[in-house]
């Protein structure tokens, strides 16, 4: 496949193999194992002397097409698919870190990633330090002789902080560290971390890549030797393998990734501008707004602000909950990137693994609400938000009965 294809074209054609029956849609290889012509063929495949499928935990043609497409889009040597986004995160951390290593992470991460690095990795003798990646001096000061990896999200889940990938990559290279970026919120349509020098890019493919809310999946995009290490240590031995059927569904979803991201971003921009005018909101977190600290990264690093918005309500926990529950079009659910608009309360849902001190450090307050802007007509999205704000206009005395 031509590497010069526009990303929207590559999301449809990238990584495709010639289908012997001439099917336009790539077939689903829903098989656990594959037959060898003879013992010698099986021996050669296990030894790596002959290409071809062996067993779906070790590789599958349908999953392989998804991996090739992601590698093409992210500009990496290859990609490895996993059974969930956390499967991808765990694969990188457990596959590339060892006892005695030191990991530096951003102080705010997706709740389960936070739980993994703060509760699970220390059990295996891996040290972890959380810092604010917007402070390059703090990042440099956190590096130790045993530091091996930097892990961050940008934009950050849930409050959309944006970090300078060129700066992070430069620090990583200068100190011989592995840099890892979660690119779930942006997708390859909006941000390409490897172009900025990042070593490993991962996604929860559950979100925008699939786009239809019916798959759990993850993917890691990297170059050698990381790919070989992750296939041997993480995929083969730990076994968080993506099913062929789920890979097939993601391939189908990715055909509309380009136009979906355009719609998500366009609607989110209008919604963010509307929210910024609401007196009940003390802050809107969206990189597409000029007041956002990451706004100047649009152009040099990001193509648009994305499809996720967070707000800080100037209200109590009770009123914040009442606001969320008054929404009608927005569905109360975690995840993001679906056709449906979703809303969730990070402090009690996705980031409930944080204790009070950690939540304050990460900037996750009781009034923080996260929206995933869907594909509905933006006028209907705005109307739903407008009617929900009525609950915040009530007299304070009424708050007690909510």
Residue 396 clears pLDDT 80, i.e. is over it: no
User: What is the Cα–Cα distance from 67 to 295, expressed in whole angstroms?
Assistant: 31
Mean pLDDT of 225-250: 96
Angstrom distance (rounded) from CA 302 to CA 377: 24
- Residue 259 pLDDT class (50, 70, 90 cuts): very high
Tens digits of per-residue pLDDT, 178-219?
999 999 999 999 999 999 999 999 999 999 999 999 999 999
Sheet holding 331-332, edge to edge: 281-285, 308-313, 368-372, 342-344, 331-332
Q: Which residues of 346-360 are buried (b: 16+ CB within 10 A; e: fewer)?
A: bbeebbebbeeebbe
Decide: 117 and 128 in contact? Cβ < 8 Å: yes
State the average pLDDT over residues 89-114: 96
Q: What does 148-203 look like in DSSP terms, one character per residue?
A: EEEEEESSPTTT-----HHHHHHHHHHTT-EEEEE-TTTHHHH--GGGGT-SEEEE
pLDDT of residue 160: 95
Mean pLDDT of the chain: 93
Q: Tokens standing for 270?
A: 């209008």
pLDDT in tens, 141-175: 999 999 999 999 999 999 899 999 999 999 999 99
| CATH code for the structural domain at 257-401 | 3.90.1150.10
Report the alpha-carbon distance of residue 162 to residue 190 in Å, rounded. 13
Catalytic residue (choose from 101, 164, 182, 199): 182
Classified as helix, coil or strand, 253 is helix
Question: Quick one: average pLDDT of 68-87?
Answer: 97
CA diameter of the chain: 80
pLDDT given at position 186 = 98
| Nearest-angstrom CA–CA distance, 55 and 32 | 6
Which among 29, 110, 286, 354 is annotated as catalytic?
110
| pLDDT exceeds 90 at position 117 | yes
Q: Is pLDDT at 240 greater than 90 in this prediction? A: yes
Q: What are the DSSP E strand ranges found in 51-93? A: 78-82
Examine the residue annotation and report whether 57 is marked as an active-site residue of this protein.
yes
What does DSSP say about strands 308-313 and 281-285: parallel, antiparallel, or unpaired?
Answer: antiparallel
The answer to whether 206 touches 334, Cβ cutoff 8 Å, is no
When pLDDT is averaged across residues 219-243 and rounded to a whole number, the result is 95
Distance between CA atoms of residues 17 and 68, nearest Å: 10
Domain limits, the chain = 7-254, 257-401
pLDDT, position 17:
82
Give the CATH fold of the 7-254 domain: 3.40.640
Q: 238 exposed, middle or buried (CB, 10 Å; 0-12, 13-18, 19+)?
A: middle
What is the end-to-end Cα distance of the chain in Å, rounded? 58
| 315-325: pLDDT as tens digits | 888 888 999 99
pLDDT of residue 399: 44
- Prediction pTM value: 0.93
User: Over 90: is that where the pLDDT of 359 sits?
Assistant: no
Q: How much is the pLDDT for 341?
A: 98
**69-73, 310-314, 344-348: range with lowest mean pLDDT:** 344-348
- Report how far residue 180's alpha carbon sits from residue 152's, in angstroms, rounded to the nearest whole number: 7
User: Residue 216's closest CA among 82, 352, 93?
Assistant: 82
Q: What is the pLDDT of residue 390?
A: 87
| Residue among 16, 55, 57, 255 flagged as catalytic | 57
pLDDT computed for residue 1 by the predictor: 56
Q: What is the structure's pLDDT at 2? A: 62
CB under 8 Å to 229, separation ≥6 — which residues? 95, 96
With 80 as the cut, is the pLDDT of residue 105 above it?
A: yes
Q: Which long-range contacts link 171-174 to residues 24+ away (Cβ below 8 Å)?
A: 171/136, 171/139, 171/140, 171/143, 172/197, 172/198, 172/199, 173/197
- Whole-angstrom distance, CA of residue 66 vs CA of residue 77: 14
Integer CA distances (angstroms), 53 to 59, 193, 217, in order: 6, 31, 21
Q: Is the pLDDT of residue 379 over 90?
A: yes
Lowest-pLDDT range, 15-19, 74-78, 174-178?
15-19
Cβ neighbourhood burial of 25 (10 Å; 0-12, 13-18, 19+): exposed
Length of the chain as a residue count: 402
Average pLDDT of span 59-73: 96
Assess whether pLDDT exceeds 60 at residue 121: yes
Rounded-to-integer distance, Cα 290 and Cα 126, Å: 40
Specify the residue for token string 């003390």. 282
pLDDT of residue 342: 98
- CA 209 to CA 88: how far, in whole Å? 14
Q: Is 207 a catalytic residue?
A: yes
């Amino acid at each position: 496949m031509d590497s010069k294809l526009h990303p929207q074209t590559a999301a449809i054609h990238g990584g495709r193999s010639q289908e012997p029956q001439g099917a336009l849609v790539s077939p689903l290889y829903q098989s656990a194992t594959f037959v060898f012509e003879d013992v010698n063929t099986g021996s050669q495949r296990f030894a790596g002397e002959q290409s071809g499928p062996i067993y779906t935990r070790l590789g599958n043609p349908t999953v392989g097409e998804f991996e090739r497409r992601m590698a093409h889009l992210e500009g990496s040597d290859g990609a490895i698919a996993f059974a969930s986004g956390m499967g991808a995160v765990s694969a990188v951390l457990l596959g590339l870190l060892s006892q005695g290593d030191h990991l530096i992470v951003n102080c705010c991460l997706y709740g389960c990633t936070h739980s993994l690095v703060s509760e699970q990795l220390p059990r295996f003798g891996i040290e972890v330090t959380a810092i604010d990646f917007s402070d390059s001096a703090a990042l440099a000061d956190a590096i130790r002789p045993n530091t091996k990896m930097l892990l961050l999200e940008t934009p950050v889940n849930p409050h959309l902080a944006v970090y300078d990938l060129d700066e992070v990559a430069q620090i990583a290279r200068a100190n011989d560290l592995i840099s890892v970026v979660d690119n779930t919120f942006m997708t390859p349509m909006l941000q390409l971390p490897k172009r900025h020098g990042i070593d490993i890019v991962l996604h929860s493919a559950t979100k925008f890549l699939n786009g239809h809310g019916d798959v759990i999946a993850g993917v890691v995009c990297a170059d050698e030797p990381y790919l070989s290490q992750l296939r041997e240590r993480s995929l083969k031995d730990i076994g968080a393998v993506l099913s062929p059927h789920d890979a097939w569904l993601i391939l189908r979803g990715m055909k509309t990734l380009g136009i979906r991201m355009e719609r998500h971003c366009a609607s989110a921009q209008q919604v963010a501008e509307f929210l910024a005018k609401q007196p009940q909101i003390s802050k809107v977190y969206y990189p597409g707004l000029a007041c956002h600290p990451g706004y100047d990264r649009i152009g040099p690093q990001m193509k648009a602000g994305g499809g996720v918005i967070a707000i800080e309500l100037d209200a109590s926990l009770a009123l914040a909950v009442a606001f969320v529950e008054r929404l009608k079009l927005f569905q109360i659910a975690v995840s993001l990137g679906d056709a449906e608009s979703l809303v969730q309360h990070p402090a009690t849902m996705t980031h409930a693994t944080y204790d009070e001190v950690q939540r304050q450090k990460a900037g996750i307050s009781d009034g923080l609400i996260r929206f995933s802007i869907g594909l509905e007509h933006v006028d209907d999205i705005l109307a739903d938000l407008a009617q929900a704000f009525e609950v915040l206009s009530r007299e304070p005395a009424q708050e007690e009965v909510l």
